[in-house]
Structure 1
């Protein structure tokens, strides 16, 4: 008994040590999850412009992160005293706040990563600290029968307000500055910037590189512990440093252009990527390891004091405590490894690039009321502005925004960069300047807000959002910004709730929450891997790239085979799910239909580029391709209707199908799947001679069978007591099955006719 009591006391004494260990592991996980989200901040410009290879981009960004990690020590104070007043909390309370923040943060960021949406790690950590601190303050106030207004005594309202306002203002500032700089750059350089005189590129290089180097390596250093050593050399000499920097960089840029014959814009993008990665690590590292380091330093101070955890006030966090360099180096290494191996990072980057693309892309977001009205308002404002500016000036400005036509080899349309080198350079230059200014002020500015809104501002100024895409792009931006505010609310509420649960349940609750976090992270990872495999699945439809009728037949034949294989699975899952009242099987069928229709929509969206790339001698291929895509869409729509009405029937708990109905449907389903298999074999083997007569005879027999089932149901409806819902559903499925069969026959007729025409032409040639 005594031994048990001693063991219990030891466990209670070590619970805080175990919490510190748990926080260390959470910090590692948070670094991985956070970098996956924030990679968009410094990769999108270089990747979108395709200025340098992806491998080079990652190497440059990795070096920037490694260096930036060493400069982030100064910002660690935000986690210790930026949001709450440490002296108002005891060690036992502060450790609960830190634990709640880290558990919430990792789950929240992973959720957004899984969606492929860039969110703000700064917003999440700030509002998690605020939420957990408020929750703990309310617990203390409640225990002492205090007033609710006393909660302000526990929160560093001045600094917290400064941080939150800085984050919100950064949205407007980043967008406005990005748009203004890009507009001026484009008016001066145009899209034909590479044809300008060498001195133009040299001056632009001088401005861009001097701005980047000054704001990163001078202003950025003000947020680090290294600044005190070089402060005497920098302080009060801003104009001199900027002037000499501009002259030196302009001369070097001119040498690069004239002597080494290199593209100066690519150099700017490489340096800018390094600088932005450095700024990101310097500013955002506090979001990932600031809380665990503050917890560790609190633990050290508590152990040294020898006081009970419930009586040791955390005044120590008010003091400036340097962060051990080894921690920063380890964190930097983990961030670099994540950058190299995280597939989620690439997914998040894609969202930002698509929204800022100069070319037409598959739009991910649907327009909404707000986006439509914003676009209308902008168009009206543009018309008014054009009446104020003289026509001669307006024409000169418009001329600078005319994009040159780029000759591409066949099938390479989609290899175009999302935007050009000028916009990429402006993105990097403006974003790095704004972030490093915030770092020098020790404000944990949201790098996601800044880089994303700079990219959106430059896209708008560059006229990338045209009539074809503006309403979708604006909707996408609003979705992302809405996600940021959603992050703030979720972070505040979730962290407060977790802090309350930990205070209520102690060590047991911490164990439960950590286990839940592990399970959710594992589940999201498995879902992500599964989804990635689905995208790469061999049954995914491919876009036509051939410019001859024969090539189109070959490529589309594969799509027909894949589509029918998937439609067969959809119909089979639907019939089995309907007859067995299996809602999960019906949901699976619906999801399969949605994915198939989405891929077919992508093929339809590509028709414009396919036709545009064709030579005049191959225009027949375009008509054939359009007819094929239309027929595939008819097949998908029929299977979609059958899956949806069946799911609705079961989901609404209507009566099950009668035995005769179920038997007839299963028989038709069996013959339909058999017909699909025969058609697939024709397309896989390219034996189009087999279409007539065997497959057409099977098709006719199946149609007669469906018609016979319809007639039987008519007779049953007149003579038997049947359910109106069942009857409606049964007729709907049978009628749509007829349409499904006919759509397949249309496809077969298209290929058979084209096959016969090809044979006739071949005979004539011989």
Structure 2
């Protein structure tokens, strides 16, 4: 009788380990963004500090384990079998959901996902019990199964934490910038000391409230803390201010770096202490349930799980083992780095490649903000505006061009404010026993501070707002998806337990597939040559850069053109759709290169500036080539998608001959630029005229067919479109080669 449940426990243990990995990959953004983005401390030291915080948080997380047992549903209303179905559904859904968000590089809340999964699975099993063969109750009785007050609090906490964190972050950052400006190194030492006293007091109080509560040691110091909040805070402020002044005065310590280090530790601890329950709370609750049921001797479908309502002490070694897995993941997960990059990109002070595209809502929000800003400028006196504006003027940092990569995404003041505000808000919510998500708080604080710090300028605001909207939309989607998916999985498991191995196999398959796709994308990103480069670009660098682009584009256009001709011949709509997606990707990459021209020119050394005109022309020709293949692909896809007649054999034969000649030409172009054998360009240019003539002959042949036996206007339109765009493609390619040959000869003469 117990065998299937033993297997379920083993499966839950394995799922818990996998969930720890995918969960940490997403939640690392919470406590690493500020330190990594500001480059206040070396990455190695940041990781060491965060690892210690995670371990300490794992020990203090025992008090949070009750959420999985009785926080969402009333355990006495469920039998052991029901509870196991709920827990299996929750873990399967959680892993799938978090892995999808990690692969997309989007931060989400592990707290919200686990809560709504528990809610969805519990509601599903409750409804099965209510409306099942033995059910005699109505829908109203659902509330006796579900702890709906907790669910309502959590939903309210989501909405409130998003608004409050963003607003408080913006206000505190604005005030901090007025005090510090961007020249914080020149502030008087007592200002730094007071700021350090305030910040470290907030963070240490946060560690006490968030860390000690719920641990076995809290009862020993409870009498010292409770009822003495004001005294502790005031005393800490005085002590830490004096310590900060001593460190500045005698040891020349940068207090802001100290704040960032302590703040990173505290948020890492909070994450581990708060969110460890999201990963291992369910399997531990399942193990406790199994132990109670096994001793009872009652059937799995008859043993009530009221035992879960009792407080059960957690195993400290199990918590430390879980903390160890989290630390290892922190150091090794590439998906974690992907999620961290999203948060830093949306809050960085400077310009750069934008991950998100504008949408109608982001445009409306930016326009509304500009209108409000204009209105405020009429109300506030000009002297006040000038004073404020002076505080937000960024200093010009005289770094050599080959050292620009050393610039942080934002400065130490903003990083410190991010950590202080997030720590204070989480401690207040914890002391008031309000449920919230550490992800929501830390992310929205970072967005609020970046807005107040004028990081979202006219050049980037519409992209950054779109990114924030996408992330917030993803959060609400998390809740809805978690609820529905967990309910569905719970239903499938309760229908037949054979669904468990099938669902586990599906989880393994999907995670494996997502991992392979992520690795492939990571390799593509490494191969892509975005021009936001750190190294100084010389004339040879321009040649290398442009040669790589031309070789790559020629090879890809060659493959895409052949695919279109072959897929058109077979009238294969699915293959044409895939080809069109690849064509769109090529266009996007070339657009990205053109968007990066600014950074390319900024990176040129003085002797290579004239080469910028050549590089711009090369990108222009590449864009013309990509647009031609894009038009050919889209027209072919549209023709087949509209179910028009296939091209006739003579037309397809002519197209295949042109494709063969174009393949030969593009292969030679790709080879010349890949091997840097530019002296062979002349021979390639000679070959161009023969291909050009063949395309013209094909056009003349089609004119003759129309005069004699052609009966399909749609075929004629498509055929002419392909031939004319092919001519444009060849013309752009030849113009590119002529430009390159002239540039190559001119550089040889200079040498």
Same fold (TM over 0.5): yes
Q: 1:489 aligns with which of 480, 500, 503?
A: 480
The superposition leaves residues 461-510 of structure 1 with CA deviations (integer Å, 9 ceiling, x where unpaired) of: 111111111121111111111111111111111111111111111x2011
| Partner residue in 2 for 1:678 | 668
Gaps of 5+ in 1: 1-11
Aligned-pair distance for 1:690?
A: 3.1
| Partner residue in 1 for 2:441 | 450
Counterpart of 1:405 in 2: which secondary structure?
coil
The superposition leaves residues 433-478 of structure 1 with CA deviations (integer Å, 9 ceiling, x where unpaired) of: 2223334455552111111101111111111111111121111111
Contact 2:531 2:597 in 1 (8 A): no
Q: 2:611 aligns with which of 615, 621, 634?
A: 621
1:732 to 1:411, Cα distance in 2 relative to 1, 3 A: farther
| Partner residue in 2 for 1:425 | 416
1:412 to 1:558, Cα distance in 2 relative to 1, 3 A: farther
Aligned-pair distance for 1:295?
A: 1.3
| Partner residue in 1 for 2:184 | 193
| Partner residue in 2 for 1:130 | 119
1:182 partnered with 2:210: no
CA separation in 1, counterparts of 2:529 and 2:409? Answer: 24
Q: 2:631 aligns with which of 625, 636, 641?
A: 641
1:78 partnered with 2:67: yes
1:160 partnered with 2:145: no
Counterpart of 1:536 in 2: which secondary structure?
helix
Written as runs of structure 1 = structure 2, the 5 A alignment for 1:455-604 is 455-505=446-496, 507-537=497-527, 546-604=536-594
Q: 1:339 aligns with which of 330, 347, 368?
A: 330
If the length of structure 2 is used for normalisation, what is the TM-score? 0.96
Q: 2:366 aligns with which of 354, 358, 375?
A: 375
| Partner residue in 2 for 1:116 | 105
Contact 1:283 1:445 in 2 (8 A): no
| Partner residue in 2 for 1:5 | none
1:689 to 1:543, Cα distance in 2 relative to 1, 3 A: farther
Aligned-pair distance for 1:342?
A: 0.9
The superposition leaves residues 564-599 of structure 1 with CA deviations (integer Å, 9 ceiling, x where unpaired) of: 122222222222222233445434433332332222
Contact 1:206 1:247 in 2 (8 A): yes
Compare 269-278 and 139-148 and name the one that shifted more: 139-148
CA separation in 2, counterparts of 1:688 and 1:78? Answer: 68
| Partner residue in 2 for 1:208 | 199
Contact 2:531 2:599 in 1 (8 A): no
Aligned-pair distance for 1:73?
A: 1.1
The superposition leaves residues 90-138 of structure 1 with CA deviations (integer Å, 9 ceiling, x where unpaired) of: 1111111111111111111111111111111111111111111111111
Contact 1:548 1:621 in 2 (8 A): no
Contact 1:122 1:444 in 2 (8 A): no
Aligned-pair distance for 1:630?
A: 1.0
Q: 1:263 aligns with which of 254, 268, 288?
A: 254
CA separation in 2, counterparts of 1:204 and 1:74? Answer: 33
1:105 to 1:526, Cα distance in 2 relative to 1, 3 A: same
Counterpart of 2:377 in 1: which secondary structure?
helix
1:97 to 1:716, Cα distance in 2 relative to 1, 3 A: same
CA separation in 2, counterparts of 1:623 and 1:519? Answer: 50
Written as runs of structure 1 = structure 2, the 5 A alignment for 1:198-277 is 198-277=189-268
The superposition leaves residues 344-389 of structure 1 with CA deviations (integer Å, 9 ceiling, x where unpaired) of: 1111111111111111122222222222222222222222222332
Compare 90-99 and 672-681 and name the one that shifted more: 672-681
Q: 2:727 aligns with which of 718, 729, 738?
A: 738
Query: How many residues are matched?
Result: 748
CA separation in 2, counterparts of 1:554 and 1:341? Answer: 33
Contact 1:283 1:439 in 2 (8 A): no
Counterpart of 2:57 in 1: which secondary structure?
helix
CA separation in 2, counterparts of 1:633 and 1:403? Answer: 36
Contact 2:206 2:266 in 1 (8 A): no
Gaps of 5+ in 2: none
| Partner residue in 1 for 2:689 | 700
If the length of structure 1 is used for normalisation, what is the TM-score? 0.94
The superposition leaves residues 530-555 of structure 1 with CA deviations (integer Å, 9 ceiling, x where unpaired) of: 22222234x75666765544542332
Written as runs of structure 1 = structure 2, the 5 A alignment for 1:304-383 is 304-383=295-374
Q: Any runs of at least 4 consecutive aligned residues in structure 1 with deviations exceeding 6 A, and if so which? A: none
CA separation in 2, counterparts of 1:346 and 1:105? Answer: 20
CA separation in 1, counterparts of 2:454 and 2:356? Answer: 19
Contact 1:359 1:464 in 2 (8 A): yes
Counterpart of 1:71 in 2: which secondary structure?
helix
